[in-house]
Structure 1
Amino acid sequence: MTPDEGPFASTYNRYPGVATALVGAVVFDGAGSRIDNGTVLFRDGEVVAVGGSDLSTDGYQVIDARGKFVTPGIIDIHSHLGDYPSPSVDAHSDGNEATSPTTPEVWAEHSVWPQDPGFSRALANGGVTSLQILPGSANLMGGRSVTLKNVPARTVQGMKFPNAPYGFKMACGENAKRVYGNRGRMPSTRMGNFAVNRQTWLDAIDYANNEDRDRDLAKETLVGVLDGEILVHNHCYRADEMALVMDMAREMGYRVSAFHHAVEAYKIGDLLSENDVCSAIWADWYGFTMEAYDGIVENAALLQQAGACVVIHSDSQDEIQRLNQEVAKAQAAGRRMGMDLPDEQVIGWITLNPARAMGIDAMTGSLEPGKMADVVLWNGDPLSVYSRPEQVWIDGALLYDANDPRRRPVSDFELGQPGEGDVK
């Protein structure tokens, strides 16, 4: 069941746009190519063509992008905007149903507050056009995630990315054993984590094989994972645990789409590559728990060298506004080791690679004809700390323009960004 089906179906409708040609920019297409003095054409919500200065712009509104850069829209694979919205108060803490070690029955979208000012900040400051909202990581099985288009809407259904598969949040390591062990119940150890997980999967397999059954919301989600319709996103830090999780996935008949945080992924890059599992990581967060102690800033570069899928994620209302800078930090760490990490390659860490791990790469994540016109025009090199989005299009609609106060979306609950609130 996709977000376009079922009781909470997507009602997303793209905003109106005009046929647009971005001319003269350096273009990073998200798939590893760079075009100098490039041209990007899009209309009717889709990319029409990407190429050089010889592309015809007849019938398009032409934007002179000389001296600027164009990328696909930025995608954050790990966000809690909306279910841990701003202001950060107890009344808004809706991301963790921390009442049982396994809660596959809960859906993150039922906590998302569309008016979270974090959405418009991510759009304006970070060029974020799509994002996955996950439950928190207190539980071994935290529930379903939802993928959103970063557009203003009154309801979460109005933001749901059309035809995007659901995700399923899992977690291993310290979180669940701390939360539930402190309550004197299982799991209180890492071996307890795996025992609870395996028994829950076995129960789901029995449910899937039983035609005479009552409806069970938790097991419906797990069966969706077993059928390959729902993608697993697993919070995991230590390399040894990631290897164990992949073994468990093989035993139970599902696959992990991405390990999130994955600070030790560099130790098993070959295994991750062989199993086609992405690592969604920070550039340089480490040491805040024992399981994060062995994180290194070269993580992304070493994974890339091993042929594994690299994604830079935020897990933060602040870092989502500067994922481009996080990529640049990870790239610089690799280059200090002597690795060749071209700019056009690492842009994929926040465009095509997260789209792939979220199951939406056929629709977005790169500038290719027929894909959604999710496009960012940067006022300079996006891998520079001095650059920021100048204009952002989602499905070909101009939803942010730094030079036009009327194109600066603001939540009803915006807390006073400089320059906002002055539109007459």
Structure 2
Amino acid sequence: MKLKLLIVPVLIVGVLGCKEKDKTPIEVERPKPVYVSTYKALPSEEFVIVNATLLTGNGEQLNNAAMWVKNGKIEAVGQSVSFPQGIKKIDAKGKWVSPGLIDVHSHLGVYPSPSHENNADGNEMTEPVTAQVWAEHAVWTQDPGFDLALAGGVTSLQILPGSGNLIGGRGVTLKNIPSITVQGMKFPDAPHGLKMACGENPKRVYGKKGRAPMTRMGNVAGYRSAWIKAKAYKEKWDKYYQAAEKGEEKDPPKRDLKLETLAGVLSGDILVHNHCYRAEEMAVMIDIAKEFNYKISTFHHAVEAYKIADILAENNICSAMWADWWGFKHEAYDSVRENVAMVDKAKACAIVHSDSAIGIQHLNQESAKAMAAGNKRGTQIEPKDAIRWITSNPAKSLGIEDRVGSLEKGKMADIVVWNQNPFSVYAKAEQVYIDGALVFDLNNQTNNAVSDFDLGIKQPQGERL
């Protein structure tokens, strides 16, 4: 009997192996990209900025330097740049130049100004897991907040769903240009983000309704249940495609929008952006990610990131933090002003974010506060270091660091010209360029974008609207 048990499987494998050789792969329709970016760079001219103090975003400060921009891209950067005669020259003597600022956490467009419940589209709080919803499907592109952010030097930003759910849906990364459609703002080929939230928000929202989750235990059980379903869903589709490659005809699994998004995370195509305040909860979320083999890109708010900065560095996870917001709820109490600097000092990816229509206008000043707090503690952070918190590090968080976030040859010419050191309380963005096109000019606002809301409605005399 033992001999037969050993022989039969070998024979079966052999027979199947012979049949496989006769089969040809079956062509199956794989999911096509949907809601793709239609972004087109605005027309730009070739120019060179000279005599500037450049904060490159990659840890360098270049004094009395130049930057040549051609076809919307950075052609050359340095203290000795050769450029063609006759191109437009911008003298930036006494001025500072940085990469365009990037905010990884914004709700512009989904919670637009003026605030009104009819425009509040950021939280689909109908069930704890709403991975099927996409923030881009609710962005109001005429939100005047976009123009105000541009005046603060913000050239790219991620729009996220709110934090009322365990899993709130997909975020979208936008280029901050005027557009009628959100797809016209959508950063080309930027990966989607998945908004997750731990802690007080989801347990409060659903606990009040007498539903799960009601506790942090319930939160974790909810994440794990969702990932178990997503893993099984992904495996079904993987087996379907594998069978087609072997020439086997099978009916495709039924599509599920919620599980499709979660499976995208498990495949590494969608980045996880996790609202989380407390240190031990961030550690739990890292354990969950390891259990289901996905990667957390960034913890948002991360008030207690300083307590686990070494763990964040070890796991290559960014922390998007405020300079000094704290105490507005229990999980935000154990904050220190040195948080950003301490995370940076541990060689983890530190980011200053806004989560605010007002804060997004002052990311440079928020970073200045965080830098000052760190230096008071003795961390010796310079402007060349702090600029990374609002340029190259958020670009890394969003998976777009190969194209923006630093002043380097070949990258998109997203640039801010400041009237002085951007970490001064008196600093203002004088000019902002996106892909080499001038999109904001403090001293000549005639060509600056104006939203429909700012234009207003003029009522003809004697007529009723």
Report which stretch shifted further, 56-65 or 21-30. 56-65
The equivalent position to 2:222 in structure 1, one of 196, 199, 202, is 196
1:236 Cα deviation from its structure 2 partner: 0.0
1:53 is displaced (CA, Å) by 4.5
Conserved 8 A contact 1:39-1:55: no
Partners of 1:413 and 1:233 in 2: CA distance = 31
Residue correspondence of structure 1 range 107-126 to structure 2 within 5 A: 107-124=134-151, 126=152
Cα 1:54–1:206 shift into 2, 3 Å:
closer
Deviates more, 1:344-353 or 1:204-213: 204-213
**Matching residue's letter, 1:157:** Q
Q: Which among 75, 91, 107 is matched to residue 64 of structure 1?
A: 91
Q: Does structure 2 retain, via aligned residues, the 8 Å contact 1:21–1:57?
A: no
User: 1-side partners of 2:299 and 2:40: how far apart?
Assistant: 31
1:291 shift after superposition? 0.4
State the Cα distance separating 1:216 from its structure 2 match: 0.5
Structural mapping, 1:228-307, within 5 Å = 228-307=268-347
1:360 aligns with 2:361: no
In the alignment, the residues of structure 1 paired with residue 47 and residue 388 of structure 2 have an alpha-carbon distance, to the nearest angstrom, of 23
Indicate yes or no: 2:77 matched with 1:42: no
CA contact under 8 A between 2:67 and 2:81: conserved in structure 1? no
Partner of 1:75: 102
Q: 1:49 & 1:353 partners in 2: Cα distance?
A: 22
CA distance in 1, matches of 2:85, 2:215: 65
Question: What is the distance in 1 between the residues matched to 2:454 and 2:387?
Answer: 30
C-alpha distance in 1 between matches for 2:82 and 2:367: 31
Q: What residue in structure 2 maps to residue 419 of structure 1?
A: none
Return the letter of the residue paired with 1:77.
Answer: V
| 2:362 counterpart of 1:335 | no
- 2:169 aligned with 1:143: yes
The CA distance in 2 between the partners of 1:376 and 1:52, in whole Å, is 18
Query: Per-residue deviation at 1:206?
Result: 0.5
Deviation at 1:59, TM superposition (A): 4.3
Q: Deviation of residue 54 (structure 1)?
A: 4.7
Identity of aligned residues (%): 57
Whichever structure has more helix as a proportion of its residues is 2
- One-letter amino acid matched to 1:168: L
Q: Is the 8 A contact 2:49 2:66 kept in 1?
A: yes
Partners of 2:261 and 2:225 lie apart in 1 by 15
CA distance in 2, matches of 1:225, 1:294: 31
Distance across 2 between alignment mates of 1:181 and 1:15: 48
Structure 1 stretches of at least 4 aligned residues deviating more than 4 Å after TM superposition: none
Aligned to 2:78: 51
How far is 1:7 from its partner? 2.8
2-structure distance, mates of 1:51, 1:308: 28
Kept after mapping to 2: 8 A contact 1:25/1:65: yes
Contact 1:392–1:399, Cα closer than 8 Å, also in 2 = yes
Q: Which has the larger radius of gyration?
A: 2
Distance in 2 (CA, whole Å) between partners of 1:58 and 1:135 is: 49
Q: Distance in 2 between matches of 1:415 and 1:179?
A: 38
Q: CA deviation at 1:70?
A: 0.2
1:55: Cα distance to partner? Answer: 3.2
- Structure 1 stretch displaced more, 248-257 or 51-60: 51-60
Give the Cα–Cα distance (whole angstroms) in 2 for the partners of residues 219 and 320 of structure 1. Answer: 32
8 Å contact kept, 1:94–1:111: yes
Instruction: Give 1:6 shift.
Output: 2.4
TM-superposed CA distance for 1:58, in Å, is: 2.3
- Give the number of equivalent residue pairs: 411
Q: Does 1:162 align with 2:188?
A: yes
CA contact (8 A) 1:117 1:415 kept: no
CA gap of 1:59–1:253, structure 2 versus 1, over 3 A, is farther
Report the TM-score when normalising by structure 2.
0.87
Match of 2:231 among 205, 210, 216: 205
Partner of 2:123: 96
Unaligned runs of 5+ in 2: 1-31, 241-251, 457-465
Per the TM alignment, residue 213 of structure 1 is displaced from its structure 2 partner at its CA by 1.4
How far did residue 415 of structure 1 move?
7.7
What is the CA–CA distance in structure 1 between the aligned matches of 2:449 and 2:93, rounded to whole Å? 26
Amino acid at match of 2:134: W
AA partner of residue 136 (structure 2) = E
Instruction: Say whether 1:214 aligns with 2:240.
Output: no
Structure 1, residues 358-382: CA drift from partner, whole Å, max 9, x if none? Answer: 0000010000000000000001110
Contact 1:24 1:53 in 2 (8 A): no
CA contact (8 A) 1:37 1:53 kept: no
Structure-2 separation of matches of 1:330 and 1:315: 16
How far is 1:332 from its partner?
A: 0.2
The residue type equivalent to 2:315 in the other structure is N
Question: Which amino acid is the alignment partner of residue 299 of structure 1?
Answer: N
The runs of 5 or more residues in structure 1 that have no matched partner are 417-424
The one-letter code of the counterpart of 2:74 is: V
**Residue 238 and residue 48 in structure 1: after superposition, are their counterparts in 2 closer, same or farther (change >3 A)?**
same
**Secondary structure of the residue that 1:121 maps to in structure 2?**
helix
Q: Deviations over 1:111-146 (max 9, x none)?
A: 10000000001001x100000000000000000000
Cα displacement string for residues 293-335 of structure 1 (whole angstroms, at most 9, x for unaligned residues) = 0011100111111111100000000000000000000000000
**1:15 is aligned with what amino acid?**
L
Which is worse superposed, 204-213 or 142-151? 204-213
2:335 partner amino acid: G
Counterpart CA distance in 2 for 1:76 and 1:291 is 23
Residue in 2 that maps onto 1:407? 447
Contact 2:318 2:350 in 1 (8 A): yes
Match of 2:364 in 1: 324
